[in-house]
Amino acid sequence: MPTTTLQIPTEDGQADAFAAFPDDGGRHPGVLMYGDAFGIRPALREIARELAGHGYYVLVPNFFHRHGPTPVVDLPAHIGEDARPALVAQVMPLIRAHTTERVLSDAEAYLAFLTGRPEVSAGPVAVTGYCIGGLLALRTAAAHPGRVAAVAGFHGPVGADGPDRQRLLSTLTAEVYLGHAESDLTPEDLGELDRALDAAGVGYTSEIYPGTVHGFTMSDTDAFDPAALQLHWDRLLPLLGRTLATG
């Protein structure tokens, strides 16, 4: 599986990125993948490679590029619960500095770069995200309704937009998939979110993964749940298959 590191031009300098794509010399649908707040690392690269193996060009940008290249924060090989609080304390200022304006400016640059790659086929792309990346994925899809056919978020902060959530959702045209950790969302919260999605008039699936905690897709954390990661693939791959052109 070919992989490469790239530099994406943005309004605020170069954003380093990781890409994975099929080894057949052809053109394939593009997927913009936002990682979690811990950034590009082996566990995230493995998810990108797995997705690329199903026939997609996967671009994973360092969305904290204004603070330096990957790794922006030094990480242990395994992010255990003992290390997590200190690491979260380091990344929270980066999250707060990543304003909506920065998100949207970067999204424009990322999509232009992705769709301009010679390995990427014409037509709309998909956007996926994990943790905070799920919110970035939704914002990207909402800002580019004609360019994004599908958006998926896993264990993301779906309530982070607060009173602006309805305005965000109302501009979506992409098909939406949201897979929530049980520790992140109560059934009541899920019902409220689903009512907001209904009001927005978008096609969506929104569900809680039973018995999971925040971060369940990331194999280098104590939150990792192999069965939940497989369920994530069982939901994500059909979504991409029915929304992205493969010819």
- pLDDT number for residue 246: 64
Q: Is residue 247 predicted with pLDDT exceeding 50? A: no
Tell me the mean pLDDT in the region 217-236: 98
For residue 139, give both structure tokens.
């914002």
pLDDT band at 1 (very low <50, low <70, confident <90, very high): confident
Q: What region does 184 belong to: left with phi over 0, alpha with psi -120 to 50, or beta?
A: alpha
Q: What are phi and psi of 69, to 5 degrees?
A: -75, 165
What is the tens place of the pLDDT at every residue in 43-93?
A: 999 999 999 999 999 999 999 999 999 999 999 999 999 999 999 999 999
Decide if 150 contacts 130 (C-beta within 8 A).
no
- pLDDT number for residue 75: 95
For residue 109, the enclosing domain spans: 3-243
CATH number at residue 192: 3.40.50.1820
Of 123, 103, 121, residue with least CA distance to 63: 103
Work out the percent of the chain whose per-residue pLDDT is above 70: 97
What is the tens place of the pLDDT at every residue in 115-152?
A: 999 999 999 999 999 999 999 999 999 999 989 999 99
State the average pLDDT for the chain.
Answer: 94
Question: What's the number of domains the chain is made of?
Answer: 1
Tell me the mean pLDDT in the region 160-186: 85
Tell me the mean pLDDT in the region 145-164: 82
pLDDT band at 186 (very low <50, low <70, confident <90, very high): confident
Q: Up-side HSE of residue 36: CA atoms within 13 Å toward CB?
A: 25
For residue 22, give both structure tokens.
């099929």
Of 167, 96, 114, 115, residue with least CA distance to 138: 167
